[in-house]
Amino acid sequence: MIDYNSIDVLVKTAESENISISELALRDQAKRMEKTEDELFKIMRHSYLVMCEAAEKGAEKDLRSASGLSGGGGWKLMNTPAANQLSGGFCSRAIGRAVATAEYNAAMGKIVAAPTAGACGILPAALITMREERKLDEKSAVMALFTAGAFGMVLANQASISGAEGGCQAECGSAAGMAAAALVEMAGGGPAICAAACGIALANQMGLVCDPVAGLVEAPCIVRNAGGVMCAITAAELALAGISLPIPLDEVIGAMREVGVSMPSVLRETALGGLAATTTGVALKEKCLGCK
């Protein structure tokens, strides 16, 4: 069985058997959970369908969070005329779905933590939009979740997926890396290219702090989901073009861990630093929570 402590081991194992990361992860997890591969696939398919529903419902015009800090952004993005979109097409739809899903989470909607609630919009937005853009079948998106999950488990084991432990690089950064690897597989790239994409995404998100205004997973978390999915798309495109970091992904993950450890506590989900500590951030906390 796979121990999920090294991306290099995952890649080499998959390559030696001439299978994808998703096939390797599905087989391994089915054995661990004492289920058939079909049974486990159905469980993952359910998660994918929840993601799809969250992205759709999060784009409703009148959606608002209880705090009033967020809501309606997903609708605005998904209904922006093409002539007013700077990125257009694939990227604009991905940004819209990332924001919609994150706003649905803020409004207490049902989401899939991927790998956390704070970063819940990045992976769904990437997969749903990629499937739509390339006219892929549902299976390709569900299998890509196994790839994302395998990379996510290594990230959790060797670094962190918790903003309280490693800053937002551990949440939105990990999600971007997982999504980048998943996008590459959906585009037909092999295990090594998946790893290259993940490494680029993590490098681009490294050092990102966790500074939720009023301690709520809304500002700046929601817009960081939009940035995270764009990071994932960029990383996947670079990797598919044959571009990679000179630093192996396992070392990138190790560096991410060290950066997280070195962050002061005020920048790790305590809402005591960064944007949360600005004059407006403090005022919003008083308004939303009624406390200083």
Confidence of residue 27 (pLDDT cuts 50, 70, 90): very high
Give the integer Cα–Cα distance in Å for 226 and 93: 10
Instruction: Identify any residues that bridge with 210 across adjacent strands, giving them in sequence order.
Output: 268
Q: Does 226 map to a domain?
A: yes
pTM: 0.97
- Give mean pLDDT, residues 174-178: 99
- Give mean pLDDT, residues 110-121: 98
Q: Does 1 map to a domain?
A: no
Residue 219 is part of a domain; what is its CATH number? 1.10.4100
Residue of higher predicted confidence among 130 and 1: 130
Whole-number pLDDT of residue 292: 58
Phi, psi (rounded to 5 degrees) for 180: -60, -45
Domain containing residue 74: 7-289
pLDDT digits (tens, 9 = 90+) for 80-113: 999 999 988 999 999 999 999 999 999 999 999 9
Q: Does 274 map to a domain?
A: yes
The number of folded domains in the chain is 1
Whole-number pLDDT of residue 88: 86
Q: Does 2 map to a domain?
A: no
Q: Does 251 map to a domain?
A: yes
* 172 Cβ contact list (under 8 Å, min separation 6): 118, 119, 122, 205, 208, 221, 224, 225, 227, 228
Phi, psi (rounded to 5 degrees) for 210: -110, 110
Q: Does 89 map to a domain?
A: yes
Q: Where are the alpha helices (DSSP H) in 81-171?
A: 89-106, 122-134, 138-158, 163-166
Give the integer Cα–Cα distance in Å for 235 and 220: 22
Q: Does 124 map to a domain?
A: yes
pLDDT digits (tens, 9 = 90+) for 231-273: 999 999 999 999 999 999 999 999 999 999 999 999 999 999 9
Whole-number pLDDT of residue 233: 98
Structure tokens at 33: 């959970």
